[in-house]
Structure 1
Amino acid sequence: MKIDIWGTCFLASWIFSLSPGAGSVFSMTNGLNHGFRRGYFGVLGLVLGLWTVFLAVVVGLGAIIQASPMTFNILKWAGVAYLFYLGFDQWRSKGSPIKINQDQREKVGLGTLIFKGWGLNVINPKGYIFMLAVIPQFIDYRTPMPMQYLLIALTFAFTDLVVMAGYTGLAAKALGYLKTEAQMSMLNKIFGFLFMAAAAILATFHQAA
């Protein structure tokens, strides 16, 4: 892959990671509820989900989605339902005081955080649509493609790890300013609303012609 093409890919990966969406809300929620160290495991799940989407697009699911409106709609509405579930669950969660001890944080397993992050990206059509739109622009079909795909996948993973670390860390620092259960409850409702808003936006997605 030529350096100028990779540079464009690198820029596109930052745009993809920085664009507000379910991943950023998920990372902030984890930082808020579990702190940076534990919450960051959710980001690892997001990256694994991103790679799953990337692999699915590369091996041809993207072509199937483009050719089958039914497949696209099933994926879209599954994503809407999943995002709404996450939002509703966050909305109804009870507020906890700022002094959350380590035992309370351990109640949420690391595997659960990783799995939720993975599922969030796998079920979200935004990733499929973005990958379908941008990946072909960076591929030189006259040269071996496996190494090109690997470089693109690593590039997107790097920027996502950096950006979501920022979201998780900023939310974790906000814990120091939250003193009451009412404040925590209000923030849980805000993040829950953002998840449900993301679901509503996702419901408006249409398959590209």
Structure 2
Amino acid sequence: MALQLWLAIAPVLLLLSFSPGPNNFTAMYNGIRAGALAALLAVVGRNIAFGILMLISVLGLGAVIVSSPFWFNVVKWLGVVYLFYIGVKTWLSASSNLVSMEQGGVEVPSTHLERLRQEFMIAISNPKAILIFTAVFPQMLDLDQSVPAQFLVMGVTFMVTEFIAAFFYALGGWQLRRLIRSARGMQVLNRSMGGVFVLASAFLAAASRT
């Protein structure tokens, strides 16, 4: 891929990565509960999912999913159910006092692996990600150059921009920790984030292939 083309594409991919969505809200929530570094490590799960979806798109299966109402809806409703589950689970979380949790040596009830798995599940079950790789990426290709090589460069660039965006969301979450150091603050946080995930599931339920 020519450097000039990459310099034009990279800012677009960065904007796509910074757009609000379930994965970025998850990074922010993990930043609040576990810190920016822990939230950033969990993004590996998100990028593993995106790598799989990019491979699916390269093989042409992404176009089949996007063009098929049945398969698009299968992916979509898996995402809807999973986001709704996360929302309800977060809403019902105990409003633990953050200070007492830290003094007890326990900052969050989940592990690095669980946060990574959650990022993966949210990303892999979002058909909008398939739309990006199937419909948006091809528009940025120079057809006079090697298409697989360009797709690889764009894919790696997108994964890097996902880390950058997640870091800023997680850092913002870390800065909010001072607001939730009480049981009441934790309750407000859990209910707010639970509501966000349920709302995200509703938006995904209304999503179409257009």
TM-score of the two chains, using structure 1 as the length reference: 0.92
Compute the displacement of 1:50 (Å): 1.8
Q: Which stretches of structure 1, 4 residues or more, deviate above 6 A after TM superposition?
A: none
Compute the displacement of 1:106 (Å): 6.6
8 Å Cα contact 1:80-1:202 kept in structure 2: yes
Aligned to 2:7: 7
Aligned to 1:178: 180
Of the three residues 184, 203, 207, the one matched with 1:201 is 203
Q: CA RMSD for the aligned pairs? A: 1.7
Aligned residue runs from structure 1 range 32-181, under 5 A: 32-99=32-99, 100-101=101-102, 103-105=105-107, 107-181=109-183
| Matched AA of 2:113 | G
| Matched AA of 2:95 | G
Compute the displacement of 1:204 (Å): 1.0
Compute the displacement of 1:195 (Å): 0.7
**Alpha-carbon separation, structure 1, partners of 2:78 and 2:128:** 13
**Alpha-carbon separation, structure 1, partners of 2:129 and 2:8:** 18
In structure 2, the gaps of 5 or more residues are: none
Compute the displacement of 1:31 (Å): 1.0
Compute the displacement of 1:34 (Å): 1.3
Moved more, 53-62 or 82-91: 53-62
Quick one: percent identity of the two aligned structures? Answer: 28
SS in 2 for 1:103: coil
**Alpha-carbon separation, structure 1, partners of 2:136 and 2:4:** 15
Compute the displacement of 1:160 (Å): 0.9
- Cα deviation digits, residues 114-160 of structure 1 (max 9, x gap): 11111110101121112222111122333323321221011101111
